[in-house]
Amino acid sequence: MKINVLNIGSFYISGVSADVQTDERGEPANIRITSYGISRSEGITEGYVNAKEKFKHAVNEALRKMQADQDYRPENFYICLTGAYIKGKEQAVQRAWSSEMHYITPEDIEKIMESSRSISISPDYEVISVHPNQFRIDESSSTKRPLKLKGRKLEMKSYVVYGESSKIDNIKTALMELKILPSGVFYQPIAAGYAVLTQNDFDYGLSVLVDIGHSTTDVAIWKSGELVHASSIPIAGLHITKDIMIALNLKNFDTAERLKLTQGTARDDLVAEDDFINVTGLKSGKTVEIPRRVLARIIYARLYEIFYHVNNILSGYRASDSIPVSVVLVGGSTGIEGIEKLAHEVLNASVSIGEIQGFSNIPPDLEWPSFASTLGTVKLIIENHLITGKMENLPSKNSGESKFKKLFKKFKKTVSEEF
């Protein structure tokens, strides 16, 4: 099975192609990246297109790099987006049959997922994805995979993601002009969670994914295995860099960005009092020496604001202080020294930097937390296919060997009949 993903961020646009092989049970046995392409984002801010031709050029550049690794250019892509214009809400639907018992088929699951799209939202918005949380058959206990089980009634609890139609249409139109056919649309913080969270993370307590990107900080929350929240905060790494640029009177953005990533810390108590740094690129043309703690205080103020907003979101899902909360950070700003300690103090939770897992090969360029949502989209699609039964018809990891054995047996039988 081949999966193509195009992740549209405000700093990077990244595309990957992945091959998925299954075992004898139809479970994914090997996920391998076969090609990838990365370009700097242009013409898109906070998840919406503001310069169409620049945006198309950036996407085309990422696809051109992908094509260099394989013989053809993919056309069908799953798209991953971010932006404060994307929202979500929980939904519960059911599907009943006659009094006779009924084996649940892939068609039944597709129909109940389609029913989840019929939610009450503004006419200016459209549903972009449905994420099943749990199924219940008749009065039995809940299950994640109801396929081939028997019952008279199927219920599903899900988390439905929807976004502002005009902004989504602008992205889709630009992509279709590049002959890219969107196979589906997903939301970045949810996808990123699948790249760095384990099954135990999903199932135990509150698991929080915080993606501090370029122009938005995305948050997704799972409670006891169920996705309960996903949203974007319009403050992120871009704003930290602008603060540095203004406070130090620097000429350009790139100088401030480099200073943030090479000399920046999230707390001034991590820096010695006599630690000074030389700052070049000032508007005055001079080079000045400043205490590194000054830079730390600029970064601290904005990071504290980001985690303050995350904590406000999180507080609505903390039923009590006893519920375990684990926070995983991804995104380009996670390289700032001391960011875990600051997040722990503001959020009062266990905090770690996310590590991408579950792939047999990850190109070095994609190992960074910035690309968690790109690779996580691949795993999210696989999870959806497992629920709907689409993985069952795929060739297994050893299918090539089995096919050879069958051909050999046929050849052997033919020879025996002839002689």
The answer to whether position 223 is within a domain reads yes
What is the pLDDT at residue 99? 67
Highest mean pLDDT among 18-22, 90-94, 230-234: 230-234
What is the pLDDT at residue 320? 63
Q: pLDDT confidence of 414, banded at 50, 70, 90?
A: very low
Q: Which two tokens stand for residue 55?
A: 């945006």
Q: Could you read off the pLDDT of 373-409 as tens digits, one per residue?
A: 999 999 999 999 999 887 654 444 444 444 434 433 4
Q: How far apart are CA 205 and CA 222, in angstroms?
A: 8
Q: Could you read off the pLDDT of 56-67 as tens digits, one per residue?
A: 999 999 999 998
The answer to whether position 346 is within a domain reads yes
Q: pLDDT confidence of 213, banded at 50, 70, 90?
A: very high
Q: For the CA atoms of the chain, what is the radius of gyration?
A: 24
Predicted confidence (pLDDT) at residue 123 exceeds the cutoff of 90: yes
Predicted confidence (pLDDT) at residue 53 exceeds the cutoff of 50: yes
> Each residue of 315-332: b (16+ CB within 10 Å) or e?
eeebeeeeeebbbbbbbb
DSSP, collapsed to helix, strand or coil, labels residue 28 as: strand
Contact 236, 242 (CB under 8 A): no
CATH of the domain at 309: 3.30.420.40
The answer to whether position 209 is within a domain reads yes
What is the pLDDT at residue 140? 81
What is the pLDDT at residue 67? 84
Instruction: Provide the residue range defining the domain that includes 258.
Output: 199-356
The answer to whether position 337 is within a domain reads yes
What is the pLDDT at residue 203? 84
DSSP, collapsed to helix, strand or coil, labels residue 116 as: helix
* DSSP 3-state percent helix, strand, coil across the chain (nearest 5): 40, 30, 30
Q: Which residues contact residue 72 at a Cβ distance below 8 angstroms, ignoring those fewer than 6 apart?
A: none
Segment 295-323 mean pLDDT: 91
The answer to whether position 282 is within a domain reads yes
> Each residue of 104-141: b (16+ CB within 10 Å) or e?
bebebbeebbebbbebeeeeebbbbbbbbbbbbbeeee
Segment 236-246 mean pLDDT: 96
| Sequential DSSP letters for 267-318 | -GGGS-TT-EEEE--BTTS--EEEEHHHHHHHHHHHHHHHHHHHHHHHHTT-
The answer to whether position 308 is within a domain reads yes
Report the share of the chain in percent with pLDDT over 90.
67
Range of lowest pLDDT (8-22, 97-111, 147-161): 97-111
Contact 192, 212 (CB under 8 A): no
The answer to whether position 30 is within a domain reads no
Enter the DSSP assignment of 200.
Answer: H
Predicted confidence (pLDDT) at residue 7 exceeds the cutoff of 60: yes
Instruction: Say how many domains are in the chain.
Output: 1
pTM of the model: 0.89
Q: pLDDT confidence of 23, banded at 50, 70, 90?
A: confident
Segment 292-303 mean pLDDT: 96
The answer to whether position 18 is within a domain reads no
Segment 340-351 mean pLDDT: 96
